[in-house]
Structure 1
Amino acid sequence: MTTHWNHLHEKVSHQLQAIYADVQLDTPVGELATELIHAIGLKQEQDVVVPQAYCNYWDENDIVMITYGDSVINEHERPLFTLFRFLHTYCKNTVNNVHILPFFPYSSDDGFSVIDYSTVNESLGDWADIERIANEYGLMTDLVINHCSSRSVWFDNFIKGEGPGSDYFFTADLEADLSMVTRPRVSPLLRETETRQGTKYVWCTFSHDQVDFDFRNPKVLLAFIEIIRLYLDKGTRIFRLDAVAFLWKKLGTPSINLPQTHEVIRLIRTLVEHVNPSVMLITETNIPNRENLTYFGNANEAHAIYNFSLPPLLVNTLVTGNCRYLKSWMMSMPPAQNGTAYFNFIASHDGIGLRPAEGLLSDDEISELVHAMQNFGGKISWRASEHGQQKPYEINITLFDAMQGTTSGPDKWQVDRFICAHAIMLGMEGIPGIYIHSLLGTSNDYEKVANTGQNRSINRKRWNYNELEAQLDSPHSQHHKVLTRLSQLIRIRKVQPAFHPNATQFTLQMGDEIFGYWRQSLDRKQGVFCISNISNEEQSVLLSDINLIGTDNWIDLISREKIKDVSGFLQLRPYQTVWISNQDFEYPHGL
């Protein structure tokens, strides 16, 4: 066991040398490596786990529901307990992982400006509530690693110039050349702050309440490894590394996606996988597609990356009735090698990010998409471009309302178009993440936008549990219809080996109005043709074009209809999806 520990120590030391190559350290790298290994909870006399390379710790059963801790509330009940009750009642046979968005004390940005990383926001519940959920579901927790709240003890200590945090934050001179820095917001980058050492200008990538850490100081890295250990102890199985692309700053550079950032992620993975190889790291890097892919490393960095290009491309496909851009993007995506996976989502607590569509859609096409979403009640968030111009950064709208119609305006196909979007995502290579407000078919919350003044509030409704229960129990409500149909799709997906996140995928060429791809199970026994009509008109598909083998028995897993003539035509209603398979792994009727 000492040999394994020594090997780990050597690897961590090597990674630290790469991270701090340009930094003068007060502590020798070997000592720092020992501190980090101890902080993650490993001692030399213990049996250090040896992770297996290129191993998939996920399969077709894995579905992640994304939610705030108080997305569902009930009077006189802790929101985290209400969430547990909702999961148990409505999601028990569909969802097996839950991403609870930051559940810590915070000062802004609905949780992403953390005041205290070690406690649960008392308005939500406590650690016992978190552990109750973690005992029955895979818990996904945010590691808000780029910045914290300006109201944190750490930042108070920075102002005082003493105690933990006094040297945790990145500062720059007003005269520094910051012209190359990539900005996701239009607010000034530097925050003027009066400290006991005089006026300091603190780096703030997102807002002046979110002050950025200085990872050139290894104490910051050590503090976050201790936080990771705490979250592991509380049941976390998946870590979402929030805004991690901005972690390392260097003057004279864009201060995004720097080599040191990648090495820090690799170091975190090294430490975590030696504690528990099945724990996952997911990088939240809302950046152009090519840059996003680099966070896989060589299957030694992020286990999964957010497929950020999917939401804008899929929404664009369904409102234009043309899939050529989605198809081209899908063909360009390399298969995730074993040990890595795409994290697919089409809606989240944020909006539909537009940066990942840059280079995939033209400026005119993005403008057309923005205009359509504004017609459906959506809001637009802006960023400053490298030339100082304002560019659309994000569309703020619920996915349900984004599917109201096409670029020609609203129509009668909203629910079918919405279900089609999820059917496409659920069949794709990768692990699906479904936002609670998509699962519920929630509409735009204009009242919350008015109350908060924040565009993102439009997609952050807080449901009263009794009101929601009444809606979900009413067969005629949109919420009942959406939950019923999505739950059926999820249950079907979960028993198909061809929908393993790493199963083979090939894009089909079926014209602009039909989007299709083929999945094949890892053992090559099951194949599924996933075909969607993404237009508002009926479409015919010649089955011989997809080469169904005549000796196999084919069935649409969704409608349960058998394909009797493989040389005939398949008629698809507007926004209908079929999953045509040669093997029928029907889900149990009791689910």
Structure 2
Amino acid sequence: MSQKLSRLLHSIYPQPDLLARLRQLLPQEAPPSQSTTGQRWDQSTAILITYADTVTAPEEPALAVLHRFLSQDYGTVPLPILHVLPFLRSFSDRGFAVCDHTRLEPHFGDWHHLRELAHGRRLMADLVVNHVSASHPWVQQFRRGLEPGSSMVLAPADLQGWDHVVRPRSSVLFTLMDTHQGLRPVWTTFGPDQVDLDWGRLEVLESFAQLMRAYVDHGVDWVRLDAVGFLWKDPDTTCLHRPKTRILVQALRLLLEQYTGNGVLLTETNVPEEENLSYLRSGDQAHIAYNFPLPPLLLEAILSNSCDLINRWLVRWPRLPQGSTMLNFTASHDGVGLRPAEGLISPERLHNLLMRCEERGGLVSHRTEADGSLSPYELNIAWWSAMAGPATTPRRLQLERFLASQLLVMALPGVPAFYLPTLLAAGNDHPTYCKTGCRRDLNRTRFDLQALRRDLEDTDSPAAVIRILMAHVLGIRARLSAFHPEAPMALLSPERNDMVILQRGHRDDPGAVWVVQSFREEAVELNLSLLAPQHNGCWRDRLSQRTIDSRRLALSPYEVLWLQAV
């Protein structure tokens, strides 16, 4: 393996001691064998996304509280993979400006608490590979001219040739930093406190490989590469998805697979669809990529009362190499990205979507284009608030819209992922936003454990209803092989604007499932003979367990059926 890595990385690190240094990164023994199924995922695989301190209790480490809550209060919901958002010590950006790679945030707990959290579940963690906080020791060493930090910070000697850089922020690209040599410009893609690293230095790769090894030693085997598309910078380019970035992704995947036989590498690239999929196409970069077009398209379909755009998108679902798949989701710790919807939603429909979200208390974030103009980059809104009706009747059909959105996430090829505040029916957190001024904080609600337990004990509360229904549906999904992440899908509704109809699994397979999902606020009718013309018998809805023996079926607003031929 060291020889393979050396050949792969020689174009980036031509130093003569490359092979010897790579050998130091590899384990002495072969990694544990892959799971007994020989697969990294199946139809029971589902992810819960949360911050370490989404649920808190006085005087307790946040990771211990989270462990107790998930085991005692949310244990009925089968979510076997837990993505704990950045937990290392950080100065800003809610964990994404890491200032110490060796210690956790003190109020989260320590490495022992992380290992305890891994009992009975698989953990997923972030490698924030593009940058570190300005308070990180590497940056402080850079300022004083000390190694290794002096060589690890990206500080270009020439500020010319960067006019075409594409990035998601309107802050300055270069930040002046006071150093032992005077003021020096350093690259800051995401803001002044997030200083970019120079991946042309082998020390950077070595440091992140060691961190990934520490993750694995404490129960992590799914690793998310945060903002990885920005990793390598070449002048006179957009500095996105450069060839050497792809080489580094390949190298990190090989290293992860050496550390754990069950390793899964995910790339987070919130960019137009084909750019995002490019990390899967070759079969040797990411195992999973985030399905970023899904949230804006699904949100637009629900709020416009028309699913024509999402049907047009679904009809050209990508064919991916075996062992690769998508991560499907509606909400996350970030907002709803709009760049992935470029070319998929017309300017007029996009404008209407932004207006409807603002009517529901959301905000719009912008990025700076190459010509200096601003364009919408992200919708900041809690998904539960986005599912509300018009101002006159906000609660009408809110739960139905919400559940329909989560059920589509479960029906598509790929691995479904769910954000904990979304499952807890958290609305827009305007008080926190008013304190911090960070628009993303609208969707980063924290919960007191005791208050949350009281809410879940109220069987009429949205959070309690969602918990029961999610446990029910995920349990059913885990028993249906047609929902394997790599099982085939056919779209049967390409021209419809009232419903999405999917066939999962092969038509002749007795385990095939037909997903029928209404996107209307009023009842709609479906001729069931359109699903499988050769089938003359009954249908069974696996969600409700009812048998349907009529040819025509009326669907209630936002109703969802998972049908199997009887």
Question: TM-score of the superposition, structure 1-length normalised?
Answer: 0.92
Matched, 1:9 2:2: yes
Matched, 1:528 2:523: no
Q: Deviations over 1:455-478 (max 9, x none)?
A: 101111110011000001101212
Amino acid at match of 1:256: L
* Contact 1:51/1:273, CA 8 A, preserved across alignment: no
Shift of the 109–47 alpha-carbon distance from structure 1 to 2, 3 Å rule, reads: closer
Q: Deviations over 1:485-538 (max 9, x none)?
A: 222222221211111101111111262101121101799441111111101010
Which residue of structure 2 aligns with residue 89 of structure 1? 72
2: CA distance, partners of 1:332 / 1:409: 36
How is 1:380-395 mapped onto 2 (pairs within 5 angstroms)? 380-395=364-379
Q: Deviations over 1:537-582 (max 9, x none)?
A: 10000001111653665311111111223xx111110011000023
Amino acid at match of 2:463: H
* Contact 1:350/1:456, CA 8 A, preserved across alignment: yes
Q: Deviations over 1:192-230 (max 9, x none)?
A: 011112321000110100000011111111111111111
Shift of the 429–331 alpha-carbon distance from structure 1 to 2, 3 Å rule, reads: same
**Aligned-partner SS, 1:106:** strand
2: CA distance, partners of 1:336 / 1:441: 34
The Cα of 1:173 is off from its aligned counterpart by 4.6
1: CA distance, partners of 2:2 / 2:391: 57
* Contact 2:311/2:496, CA 8 A, preserved across alignment: no
The Cα of 1:132 is off from its aligned counterpart by 0.9
2: CA distance, partners of 1:372 / 1:174: 45
Q: Deviations over 1:381-438 (max 9, x none)?
A: 1101222111111111111111112699846111100100001111110001100011
Q: Deviations over 1:250-306 (max 9, x none)?
A: 121111110110110011111221332310000000000010000014211100000
The Cα of 1:359 is off from its aligned counterpart by 1.1
* Contact 1:55/1:338, CA 8 A, preserved across alignment: no
Q: Deviations over 1:33-52 (max 9, x none)?
A: 33223224x23xx4477989
Amino acid at match of 2:21: E
Give the one of 16, 20, 25 matched to 1:34. 20
2: CA distance, partners of 1:529 / 1:478: 28
Q: Which moved more, 1:515-524 or 1:259-268?
A: 515-524
Which residue of structure 1 aligns with residue 246 of structure 2? 262
The Cα of 1:122 is off from its aligned counterpart by 1.0
Shift of the 274–491 alpha-carbon distance from structure 1 to 2, 3 Å rule, reads: same
Q: Aligned-residue CA RMSD in angstroms?
A: 2.1
1: CA distance, partners of 2:498 / 2:390: 13
Shift of the 339–33 alpha-carbon distance from structure 1 to 2, 3 Å rule, reads: farther
Matched, 1:555 2:540: yes
The Cα of 1:129 is off from its aligned counterpart by 1.0
Which residue of structure 2 aligns with residue 79 of structure 1? 62
* Contact 1:118/1:230, CA 8 A, preserved across alignment: no
**Aligned-partner SS, 2:97:** coil
1: CA distance, partners of 2:354 / 2:158: 36
Give the one of 55, 60, 66 matched to 2:49. 66
Give the one of 180, 205, 217 matched to 1:221. 205
Amino acid at match of 1:478: P
**Aligned-partner SS, 2:366:** strand
The Cα of 1:337 is off from its aligned counterpart by 2.6
Give the one of 189, 210, 223 matched to 1:205. 189
Give the one of 247, 254, 279 matched to 2:231. 247
Shift of the 171–459 alpha-carbon distance from structure 1 to 2, 3 Å rule, reads: same
* Contact 2:31/2:261, CA 8 A, preserved across alignment: no
2: CA distance, partners of 1:522 / 1:511: 21
Give the one of 538, 561, 564 matched to 1:578. 561
Which residue of structure 2 aligns with residue 5 of structure 1? none
How is 1:480-495 mapped onto 2 (pairs within 5 angstroms)? 480-495=464-479
Matched, 1:236 2:229: no
* Contact 2:221/2:260, CA 8 A, preserved across alignment: no
Matched, 1:163 2:147: yes
Q: Deviations over 1:29-69 (max 9, x none)?
A: xx3233223224x23xx4477989x9631001111000000
Amino acid at match of 1:114: V
* Contact 1:169/1:211, CA 8 A, preserved across alignment: yes
2: CA distance, partners of 1:222 / 1:523: 50
Shift of the 532–308 alpha-carbon distance from structure 1 to 2, 3 Å rule, reads: same
Which residue of structure 2 aligns with residue 305 of structure 1? 289
**Aligned-partner SS, 1:251:** coil
Matched, 1:143 2:136: no
**Aligned-partner SS, 2:545:** coil
Which residue of structure 2 aligns with residue 587 of structure 1? none
Give the one of 493, 515, 530 matched to 2:500. 515
Amino acid at match of 1:16: L
* Contact 1:497/1:522, CA 8 A, preserved across alignment: no
* Contact 1:296/1:340, CA 8 A, preserved across alignment: yes
1: CA distance, partners of 2:98 / 2:473: 36
Which residue of structure 2 aligns with residue 569 of structure 1? 552
Which residue of structure 1 aligns with residue 525 of structure 2? 540
Shift of the 404–289 alpha-carbon distance from structure 1 to 2, 3 Å rule, reads: same
Shift of the 62–548 alpha-carbon distance from structure 1 to 2, 3 Å rule, reads: farther
**Aligned-partner SS, 2:404:** helix
* Contact 2:253/2:285, CA 8 A, preserved across alignment: yes
* Contact 1:498/1:522, CA 8 A, preserved across alignment: no
1: CA distance, partners of 2:390 / 2:511: 35
Give the one of 487, 492, 499 matched to 2:483. 499
Q: Deviations over 1:326-350 (max 9, x none)?
A: 1111122213332111011110001
Which residue of structure 2 aligns with residue 424 of structure 1? 408
The Cα of 1:163 is off from its aligned counterpart by 2.7
Which residue of structure 1 aligns with residue 85 of structure 2? 101
* Contact 1:36/1:225, CA 8 A, preserved across alignment: no
Shift of the 522–264 alpha-carbon distance from structure 1 to 2, 3 Å rule, reads: farther
Which residue of structure 2 aligns with residue 134 of structure 1? 118
* Contact 1:16/1:33, CA 8 A, preserved across alignment: no
Q: Which moved more, 1:335-344 or 1:146-155?
A: 335-344
Amino acid at match of 2:554: Q
List gaps (5 residues or longer) in structure 1.
1-7, 584-591
* Contact 2:430/2:442, CA 8 A, preserved across alignment: yes
Question: TM-score of the superposition, structure 2-length normalised?
Answer: 0.96
Amino acid at match of 1:516: I
* Contact 1:67/1:435, CA 8 A, preserved across alignment: yes
List gaps (5 residues or longer) in structure 2.
none
1: CA distance, partners of 2:510 / 2:283: 26
**Aligned-partner SS, 2:19:** helix
2: CA distance, partners of 1:439 / 1:548: 38
2: CA distance, partners of 1:212 / 1:407: 44
1: CA distance, partners of 2:30 / 2:133: 38
* Contact 2:380/2:442, CA 8 A, preserved across alignment: yes
2: CA distance, partners of 1:346 / 1:36: 39
* Contact 2:272/2:342, CA 8 A, preserved across alignment: yes
1: CA distance, partners of 2:402 / 2:218: 36
How is 1:382-421 mapped onto 2 (pairs within 5 angstroms)? 382-405=366-389, 410=394, 412-421=396-405
**What is the count of residue pairs matched by the alignment?**
563
* Contact 2:31/2:260, CA 8 A, preserved across alignment: no
Amino acid at match of 2:514: F
